[in-house]
Structure 1
């Protein structure tokens, strides 16, 4: 696909910035400059930060049986070391060298598991003396340092002097490597994690506090740039925030232990992020499945929100991030009303403009396909398409388009997306209903039409009414030929959906509660079709979707509704 002028300028800017960062890294990595970052060695760990992520003691049992499961992939060791087997995937290899799995061994509180952890760390040190490859990507170094420091009690207690020196020397070398290379980390979360690790090492490792202020200042700059005013991340993905919060929270403890004041900017970023996570959480306890939200960890999300102390204000709209929340009674409707993030941060963004999700109590009714887990990335392009979202798809194309450009893909490590250029919305939180009016221009350049959606949730939360319209931005338009459209309503796999008569479907939830979906007229033909739900730890799950199909000549309005079934509706 050809690039427009703005995108060409963006590539040029990204290229110049990447060259600048590489030049700085090259200079700082030279023997003449590395002394500046070497500190006074790394003799001891002064502070062991609290590990906030949930641990799974059964991981030790798996290792004992020769299996190493990471990133939704399992490697059969067959008696070999995890560091000598062929990695089943790059994601698996990154997690292996990041050592986040050490917390699972620590959770067993068994000496045999602790001994195995120490042996694996020492083996890594012996094998990875040459600083290149995935093990020395800046974010992987950062994750490894955070993990080793967080599990220092297990790794260093009762260790012989030689092994202790080996581990601490490696820690010192890796700190220097990270200080000189963090600028080469991909933009977004990877760069943020690098700076969090540098602040942590400055606080927790002896002899390395000389560059603390520098790392602290750089982290604050990234926090201000990446965390938006409403607490969302600049990538528009909520899934990255719970992990970032769990990385940032221990820093406060470390500052306090060193009798230092934690910067207000870090505390503010954490508070804003927690508020946004609460906003994005639906009745099923999970984050709404938009723009890269994958299987995730319910435990991580619950742990992060547990640190909010119940002080989070209600936020119906996240203007900076582009999301709206309609909540009445026990029903929550959540809608995507934002444009794609910047090109360099859009490799997991999805073409779900004006799509929505809906829960009744803890049960999902309408759910977007979500983003596949690490082991199912072959499905990425399908999951990112508009047809995998609860919204209108025009001309069998997506409202956003993937940009296939070799240089850009190399720069951002994936396929970015473009369009819609403009997404507008108005939200009214009235006494009788919560009302959302929104529109996007993702189809304007191709077909001359905009998609307008109206969602109205009743005061009791027992009825959602919608109108999907296709119309020109002004005046009238008559297309040369009618265009097909399809309005998708993907159901969670636990829902049962059956036809209940002309233009009516009955949706039955796991607990027996039923909702009736209906189209107001014959403008579009209703059908029940197969679908896929990608956000499952076991991989894509078959599900169903209700689809309203029709054609438009230039202006079309489709009315539909879904309401909780009452006893007297059973005659339908």
Structure 2
């Protein structure tokens, strides 16, 4: 039955592609007669001037791939992944040119838009993909005052005609198979086109109906986004703020469901922030630029402290003294919404002040392929892996196969201290082993105690990993039962495991992606290995801040 449905889906998709690719289809899109915008919303999001300077030089680095060309090929046949194509054709990078400033950057923006119009006047499955299309429509409209200043009438006419044609096509194909954040990207484009382009009012009605349907499903009761990716959460919140902004610019009423979603997602975004201002690294998310996060929080115009617990999206946050800990205690998103999901159940990250100490490895900007398989693996997370096997099956082209079916979590607080106990059954089917993790953070934040237990038969290997941020310097202590971890500030923490030998080995970090580029950074991990014994295997460990030695007299 599934095979039959898949076959019908492919046939339908092929038929639509054949129809859209027919030159006659373009005649049905209209677009002539649109000479200006009915409303121009403000775009508050910061750009990256370094990225803008690269684009000025004809360098286009997106999604782990780089094209260098005076005039780019917007949909290359070979050598560039779908993430590069999506980023290139979305025009998010117009903000980076705006950050460079000046008329030269403005002219470069017009040159690239003209190039896109020349190569993509007709439908293309990649450059006209609905989520990419929606993002481009919103960016062309929101950046209008930047790139159209001093432009001639011929250029303006081409842009407005194309915007109307793109909006008409988008209204015909949405929602289609889109789900999650990708669908909201398309909805954002419908809202911008429907409100700002005369004659495209139908698109606004579609956008409002889809928001009414999607937001209660995608924004969970605790404010978390259903895809469980902190960076994606912030992007969705940005999209919702943009939709609210364009509604206000057009003097249209803001739907209650939209405002309510923004009000709930804002405290949840604060929940995922570490002390350095960056985001937690779970399920394909990276730190993101703290300046962008600050701007999103400010533009949301929503108050509310971060929750301690987010049970609906499945995360716990512990905060004591200067220590922040975030732990993944939730189920993977359902199929179709799990494109970026990782096999990192029960992993955690820990920051002291503004310094990251324990991390997960992050995510490659390409999102798919071999890097996806490596970085989504359980071994790339600060948790326990059994027999070098993932707790969920990671698919290189996105999504998960087999995954934990039952995850439990209990939180207890008292006198400023916090205990979280969680379990997952991702290894029960293959090895008969249940993983139980207990984390206790003392009230002063200087003492974290952990206990990882595997309940089940003997004779299976395991590895308990603590990935370190690249700024942390590890030093093994004689005897092998502890490792000293030195932070850039000079603070030292001792990681100790009872009855076990700790080894320091190499690791990689792809958590940043803004200040340090997209290249993997070398780092280290502390690993505890062993084999299960009968019935129950316990690994007790502690991470404590070392007291400063008394001054010499």
TM-score relative to the length of structure 1: 0.87
SS of alignment partner, residue 483 of structure 2: strand
1:368-414 residue CA offsets vs partner (Å, 9 max, x unmatched): 1111222895322111111111111112211112358xxxxxxxx53
2:261 paired residue among 259, 262, 269: 269
Shift in alpha-carbon separation, 1:363–1:486, aligned structure 2, 3 A: same
Q: What is the aligned partner in structure 1 of residue 472 from structure 2?
A: 495
Question: 1:294-333 maps to which residues of 2 (within 5 A)?
Answer: 294=286, 296-309=288-301, 311-333=303-325
2:510 paired residue among 534, 554, 565: 534
2:26–2:122 Cα contact (<8 Å) kept: no
Shift in alpha-carbon separation, 1:172–1:41, aligned structure 2, 3 A: farther
Q: Cα offset for 1:315?
A: 0.6
Q: What is the aligned partner in structure 2 of residue 189 from structure 1?
A: 181
1:381 paired residue among 373, 395, 405: 373
SS of alignment partner, residue 127 of structure 2: helix
Aligned equivalents of 2:403, 2:476: Cα separation in 1: 36
Question: Cα RMSD between the aligned structures?
Answer: 3.1
Aligned equivalents of 1:29, 1:68: Cα separation in 2: 27
Question: 1:322-361 maps to which residues of 2 (within 5 A)?
Answer: 322-361=314-353
Aligned equivalents of 2:131, 2:267: Cα separation in 1: 26
1:28–1:180 Cα contact (<8 Å) kept: no
Aligned equivalents of 2:506, 2:94: Cα separation in 1: 41
Q: Cα offset for 1:441?
A: 0.6
Q: 2:409 aligned with 1:425, yes or no?
A: yes
Question: Runs of 5+ in structure 2 lacking a partner?
Answer: none
Question: 1:204-219 maps to which residues of 2 (within 5 A)?
Answer: 204-219=196-211
Aligned equivalents of 1:39, 1:130: Cα separation in 2: 13
Shift in alpha-carbon separation, 1:68–1:308, aligned structure 2, 3 A: closer
1:190-211 residue CA offsets vs partner (Å, 9 max, x unmatched): 1111011101211111221244
Shift in alpha-carbon separation, 1:508–1:194, aligned structure 2, 3 A: same
Q: What is the aligned partner in structure 1 of residue 494 from structure 2?
A: 516
Q: 2:504 aligned with 1:504, yes or no?
A: no
2:335–2:399 Cα contact (<8 Å) kept: no
Aligned equivalents of 2:11, 2:368: Cα separation in 1: 33
Aligned equivalents of 2:264, 2:403: Cα separation in 1: 28
Q: Which moved further from structure 2: 24-33 or 318-327? A: 24-33
Q: What is the aligned partner in structure 1 of residue 531 from structure 2?
A: 551
1:18–1:184 Cα contact (<8 Å) kept: no
1:68–1:82 Cα contact (<8 Å) kept: no
Q: How many residues align?
A: 545
Q: Cα offset for 1:246?
A: 1.9
Aligned equivalents of 1:69, 1:254: Cα separation in 2: 30
2:168–2:203 Cα contact (<8 Å) kept: no
2:483–2:496 Cα contact (<8 Å) kept: yes
Q: Cα offset for 1:33?
A: 11
Q: What is the aligned partner in structure 2 of residue 566 from structure 1?
A: 547
Aligned equivalents of 1:76, 1:30: Cα separation in 2: 31
SS of alignment partner, residue 327 of structure 2: strand
Shift in alpha-carbon separation, 1:351–1:297, aligned structure 2, 3 A: same
TM-score relative to the length of structure 2: 0.90
